[in-house]
Chains A and B, each alone.
Chain A
Amino acid sequence: MATIEIERLAKSYHVYQKSEGLAASIRGLFRRQYREVQAVRGIDLQLEQGEFVAFLGPNGAGKTTTLKLLSGVIAPTSGTARVMGFVPWHRDNAYRRRFALVMGQKNQLWWDLPAQESFRLHQQIYRIEPDRFDRTRDELTGMLQVRQLLSQPVRELSLGERMKMELIAALLHSPEVLFLDEPTIGLDVIAQHNIQNFLRDYQQRRRVTILLTSHYMKDVVALCRRVVIIAWGRIIYDGSLEGIIDRYGGHKVVSFQLADGQIPSDLGRYGEMLPEKPPRAKLRVERSVVTDVLGRILANHAIKDVSVEDPPLEQVIAEMFNQADDLPKDKLAEVPELLSEE
């Protein structure tokens, strides 16, 4: 049996609709119009024990709704889900002691007290044996290098340090399933990198099952082999990270610098020119003709430096949204939100 099993899971909300203007506001006092918003439209998903899966999609795609369903905060309109055999929205204490949800934008620690006090509280709430508690806390604080910050009030920690403490608080009870909602949001590159490293080491050590949402493709590339992409409430891709590039990234990016530092005007005949700072030049080349194009460039010019790369993941995913025919095209404007990097 899979650790997480989701079948035809759907969730719709009633949302109050108000037209613009004062008159509409006054009408709204007496009769409210509601609109049905289908946040999740029947998704199927299975996660095996020990998988680390990225859950991607533009804002409003249904990622957070799915995480809320799986952590039992909300109940679905239809469909089923089981996590370690539990129905999440029944909120059994037995289930709640075995998973954790970490939200990058929410603070669970006591603001005015040192983090170790919040940890103590978690020890009691989750009924963690004192020996195991000490061991786990020391292990986690060691891995994240925050041992000396344990007795400092949380409000005096930096955002990155606070996120580390949040992670420790969530992991003290050794959850078997972990939902991470934007764990690196707002962090600087170094702090992001630290959190990524920690998550990778931790997951390899404990073999926990993790579902991660993130807008930072670097998180995804660093951590997850399997990627699930959701858009407008439906899963549009479920497979390996490389698979996305194979399937949707139909081209490669060739960038080079000529020995004389010039950029010839006829580069357009090899492929589409991409913006790049001179003296370097960048070309978008169909994958099938990459070898051919490279040969011709090398034959015709004196090259100082050359490289061939896959296009950035962001672009590939944008391409995927373009190709998914059954998606409303007017929503494509929302895609760039997914693509904004850092």
Chain B
Amino acid sequence: MYARVATCWTILRISLEERLVYRGDFALGTLMRFLPIVTQMFLWMAVFDGAFGAGRGPGQQIAGYTCHSIIAYYLLTTVSRAFSSMPGLSSGIARDIRDGTVKKYLIQPIDMLTFLMLNRVAHKLVYYVVAIGPFALVFYLCRDFFPEHPGGLYPGWPDAATLAAYFASLLMAFLLGFLLEATLGMIGFWFLEVSSLLFVYMLFSFFFSGHMFPIDLLPGIWGELVRLIPLQYLAYFPAAVFLGKVTGPELTHGLLIQFGWVVFFLVAARTAFRRGVRRYSGFGG
């Protein structure tokens, strides 16, 4: 047990050091990711202005969202995405399979999923340290856009229990995002080239995770459908929890389903790896 923890800590520490090597590129990349946030805010303002003339008041709503609440929602999904998005994970796994690097995990006594996960945790930690400043600034500038919560800790903040649920959903969003993309990457054991498939996934994820727009805007059957697939737990769900749109038994229910998806994809990733390795070793590696 102790040895396992020590191994995990070493992997994490070395991954952190690796991330810190290219500090210039990293800082620039992190800051550039704030540009879309700004453009998206202007886009929503333009949408509301177009719909209602000068449409930023509380009375002017689209499916229950005012211009300000939708911007607050959007900002919160960027936080969700900061946990759940895994740039390069699937394609990296597929590349390792294609060029044979995956052999390392067969030869050395090390578990691939654990290793990649710790590597990702390191990526995320470094990212948060750099990104927390700009994030805080944007949220501070937009502080009046967040709704009042009864019993909130501060204006615009939910109560302690909701906040705890929010962090739990963010943590699970990380796990779900990681396991889902890892499973996708392992399709590379069967099809050597998976980039088109990943592109389709990214597209779906962009629309149906709630990153592009709140999924409760989707009408009828589409709305129902999107609630059945796990993508909403990557962006929409944590944001909705923070905004107090999901409460009481519905919240418990939502967290349980999210947890269920995490377990589902954990099993899926493990199974895909086991079967994939069997196929790989049968076909020659």
Contacts and interface: CB of A to CB of B under 8 A. Distances in A.
B200 interface: no
A96 B283 contact: no
Contacts of A71: 106-107
Nearest to A99: B107
Nearest to A126: B109
Interface in A85-102: 89, 91, 93, 96-97, 101
Interface in B1-37: 3, 6-7, 10-11, 14, 17-18, 21-22
Contacts of A11: 284
Contact of A97 (B11, B101, B109): B109
> Which of B104, B106, B109, B285 has the most CB atoms of chain A within a 10 A radius of its CB?
B109
Interface in B250-285: 278, 280-285
Contact of B284 (A65, A72, A110, A125): A65
B39 interface: no
Interface stretch (A113-121, A248-256, A271-279, A315-323): A113-121
A170 to B, nearest CB: 10
Chain A binding surface, main DSSP class: mixed
Chain B binding surface, main DSSP class: helix
Give the contact-size bracket for chain B: 20 to 34
Contacts of A127: 3
A222 interface: no
A327 B107 CA distance: 33
Nearest to A153: B21
A74 B285 contact: yes
Contact of B17 (A72, A106, A113): A113
Contact of B281 (A14, A75, A124): A75
B196 interface: no
> Which of A14, A91, A121 has the most CB atoms of chain B within a 10 A radius of its CB?
A121
B285 A96 contact: no
A73 B6 contact: no
Contacts of A211: none
B10 A72 contact: no
A11 B283 CA distance: 9
A64 B11 CA distance: 30
B21 A113 contact: yes
Nearest to B15: A110
Contacts of B278: 75
A39 to B, nearest CB: 7
A13 interface: yes
B107 A101 contact: yes
Interface string A123-164: 111110000000000000000000000000100000000000
A210 B284 CA distance: 23
Contact of B107 (A14, A72, A113, A120): A72
A72 B14 CA distance: 27
A262 interface: no
B14 A120 contact: yes
Nearest to B99: A106
A72 B285 CA distance: 11
A125 B282 contact: no
> Which of B106, B278, B280 has the most CB atoms of chain A within a 10 A radius of its CB?
B106
A27 to B, nearest CB: 19
Contacts of A89: 281
> Which of A72, A96, A125 has the most CB atoms of chain B within a 10 A radius of its CB?
A125
Contacts of B282: 74-75
Nearest to A11: B284
Contact of B103 (A13, A73, A113, A123): A73
A125 B7 contact: yes
B199 to A, nearest CB: 20
Given A97-B109, A120-B10, A112 B18 contact: yes
Interface of B: 3, 6-7, 10-11, 14, 17-18, 21-22, 100-101, 103-104, 106-110, 278, 280-285
Q: Which 3 A-B pairs have the closest CB atoms?
A: A124-B7, A124-B10, A96-B109
